[in-house]
Structure 1
Amino acid sequence: MTTAPPPPLLGVSDLRVTFPGRHGAPPARAVDGVGLTVRAGEIVALVGESGCGKSTLARALLGLVRPASGRIEFAGRPLEYGARALKAHRKRVQLVLQDPSGSLNPRHTVYEAVAEGLRVHGYAGDEKEAVTGALARAGLRPPERFLLRHPHELSGGQRQRVVIAGALVLAPELLVADEPVASLDASVRGEILALLLRLRADLGLAALIVTHDLGLAWNVADRVAVMYLGRIVETGEVEQVLTAPRHPYTRALLSVLPDTPGDPVVLSGEPPDPSRVPSGCRFRVRCPVLADGEAERAGVAERCHGEDPSLTDDGARSRVACHWAAARA
């Protein structure tokens, strides 16, 4: 008798987040029917251009943005939006933001910054021991050297480690890291990514890393989900998606990475306004395989113009929302 696998730590089903349109435009569909899972101890990268909805999705997972419809479950239970329930949820799911300088109060010492979460949640244990332990786990050793420092006395990498320590002090099960290394130089980015991998190995900590950088996903993630204009358009194991991408958008993102063979794929224009999502495939107005006739030769051009594709379930190691890619499978 086989045992059913445990439910994912985080499960998102058909999630939609809308915002009022500007100047009489229809509502902006920032997150438009997203499904996503993160298993315990897993690192998933959510990748896409600026404005694709990935940061809005990240905030919805914390209950900072309330969805119009859909479902978010954590540890098998639906997310509730009462004040007490959200407070308990945010203890288990912690947000790490891009800019550590903006995340830290310049008047607070490192000790006060890390202890803040403990005080909000009424921690009853030894506060100093918890703070020094979190700083040590974040790689600030010996932690006593940092307790009385202020943010301006730290390097960018040290400030980001303080932000991570502030999340770790509450012993979360999932980190949602929104562009956690975008503001750091290359050498420090590597150190922070290595820290995330070590936290997964030592603590079993899961992470959803929101990034525009597919190279980052390659270095740290187990699975990747590529997002475009509010939807996941390709998802699967990171090695599969990044070595054999199926969606033209994923291929374009990969083509501009250093040492990628071939010429970069330059997408025309900017992503459409999420209040005016194109009919048919939402990527079609920028799609190179539609523009150069490949979709026509595959017999799917008409579907690209008239039918919004859903993620396939064709037995492949990755899932893709693309008529052309599905026809080639």
Structure 2
Amino acid sequence: MTSAPLLSSTGLRVTFPGRRGAAAARAVDGVDLDIGAGEIVALVGESGCGKTSLARALLGLVAPTAGRVTFGGVPLSYGSRELKAYRRRVQLVLQDPSGSLNPRHTVYDAVAEGLRIHAYAGDERAAVAEALSRAGLRPPERFFLRYPHELSGGQRQRVVIAGALVLEPELIVADEPVASLDASVRGEILALLLRLRDELGLSALVVTHDLGLAWNIADRVAVMYLGRIVETGPVESVLTAPQHPYTRALLSVLPESPEPPVVLTGEPPDPSRIPPGCRFHARCQVLSSGAAEEAGVAERCRTGDLPVLPGSGPGAVACHWAAAREGDGPRA
């Protein structure tokens, strides 16, 4: 990106205290991430990697332990008044529309809720109708008095999106926005998000475990493992020529992958037990196969820390083996 980012995190950390004397969980452990105006960034990783904690910190739902978040170049303040104003400009779209919508509220009330919280002074009915129409529910008046149980899964997700759009935000954070939908509906919702970007200049952070989804919607991808971004860059370069072994493993299990599936061994990510060296090394197929040894970096993989990757740019990877293949040391 050449212009200043719309949303940015610098050195962001989120640590949760351990229970009954257990070690603290470093859910987000030093993350730089930028999202530009009109840009869609996919944050990808398996369950437990910290991507939802990162999204919550970017939204101001949890205060970071260290680091900072800026929006439009202004550091995020955590006072109630400042957060209320911020959340009008940055909206959340949750994974499960059934859980996001109050079953006792009509579609109209669900979409109007944000307007009422923010004491909207304009024409509420017109604003709700416009949001529903933008979300693809037309004619909008036909849905005003319907309840969530009367809608399909795709229609419920469109209502949730309309509830975010009604405040005319500049950025949305979509947490697994199509995970609960049928395959036939997923494409429609992804196409809707792309259309909103093109028509409204809307930016988005899409949190997902699905690299296939990232390929279909994102401009850039950030791959997260155990609290850190381990690879980032334009979607075409990351997904067609992945550098980090973790990214390669995630891609290998996609149905269209030409590579045999990589089965990761070892324990899944545990943010209360982050190992020394590369945090992926205990499960790394490159290290276990002997390829890291051949490259002369096996010991570095086990003991040598890697830098925090920059928030934006042409692409970066935190991997001793990938850096050795390029012949220039750890890249960041």
TM-score in terms of structure 1 length: 0.97
Q: How does 1:282-301 map to 2 (within 5 A)?
A: 282-301=279-298
C-alpha separation between the residues in 2 aligned to 1:262 and 1:155? 37
Residue number in structure 1 paired with 2:306: 309
User: Contact 2:39–2:219 (CA<8 Å) still a contact in 1?
Assistant: yes
Secondary structure in 2 aligned to 1:157? helix
2:48 aligned partner: 51
Q: Which structure 2 residues correspond to residues 1-329 of structure 1 after superposition, within 5 A?
A: 5-311=2-308, 317-329=314-326
* Amino acid in the other structure paired with 1:318: G
Aligned partner letter, 1:144 = E
Amino acid at match of 2:216: N
Q: Secondary structure at the match of 1:235?
A: strand
- Tell me the secondary structure at the aligned position of residue 133 of structure 1: helix
Aligned length: 324
In 1: Cα distance, 2:20 partner to 2:245 partner: 33
Over 3 Å counting, the alpha-carbon distance change for 1:312 and 1:121 in structure 2 is closer
- Aligned partners of 2:283 and 2:151: how far apart in 1? 43
Deviation of the 1:312 alpha carbon: 6.2
* AA in 1 matched with 2:169: P
Separation in 2, partners of 1:104, 1:235: 34
- Any idea what SS the aligned residue of 2:162 has? helix
- Hey, what's the Cα distance between the residues in 2 that align with 1:28 and 1:133? 43
**Post-superposition offset of 1:5:** 4.2
Q: Where does structure 1 differ by over 6 angstroms across 4 or more consecutive aligned residues?
A: none
For residue 234 of structure 1, give the secondary structure of its aligned residue in structure 2: strand
Partner Cα separation in structure 2 for residue 220 and residue 5 of structure 1: 21
Residue 218 of structure 1 deviates from its aligned partner by 0.2
> What fraction of aligned residue pairs are identical, expressed as a percent?
77
1:92-128, Cα deviation, whole Å (9 max, x unpaired): 0000000001100000000000000000001000000
The alpha carbon displacement at 1:281 in A equals 0.8
2: CA distance, partners of 1:312 / 1:30: 17
Distance in 1, matches of 2:2 and 2:77, equals 24
- In structure 2, stretches of 5+ residues that fail to align are 327-332
What are the Cα deviations for residues 151-200 of structure 1, in whole angstroms up to 9, with x where unaligned? 00000000000000000000000000000000001010000000000000
- Note the alpha carbon deviations across 1:238-258, whole angstroms, 9 max, x for none: 000000000000000000001
TM-score (norm. length: structure 2): 0.96
* Aligned AA (1:146): F
1:7 deviates by 1.4
1:23, distance to aligned residue in structure 2 (A): 3.3
Instruction: Provide the secondary structure at the position in 2 that maps to 1:281.
Output: coil
Provide the rounded CA distance (Å) in 2 between the counterparts of 1:21 and 1:50: 19
Shift of 1:6: 3.1
d(CA) in 1 for partners of 2:120, 2:309: 46
Aligned-partner Cα distance in 2 for 1:272–1:48 = 11
Matched residues in 1 for 2:242 and 2:267: separation?
21
Alpha-carbon distance in structure 2 between the residues aligned to 1:121 and 1:157: 27
Instruction: Quote the offset at 1:26 in angstroms.
Output: 1.5
Query: Is contact 1:234–1:319 with CA below 8 Å preserved after alignment?
Result: yes
SS across alignment from 1:22: coil
Q: Could you report, residue by residue, the CA deviation over 1:283-310 in whole angstroms, capped at 9, with x for unpaired residues?
A: 0100011111111111111111111212
Question: How many Å separate the matches in 2 of 1:149 and 1:270?
Answer: 46
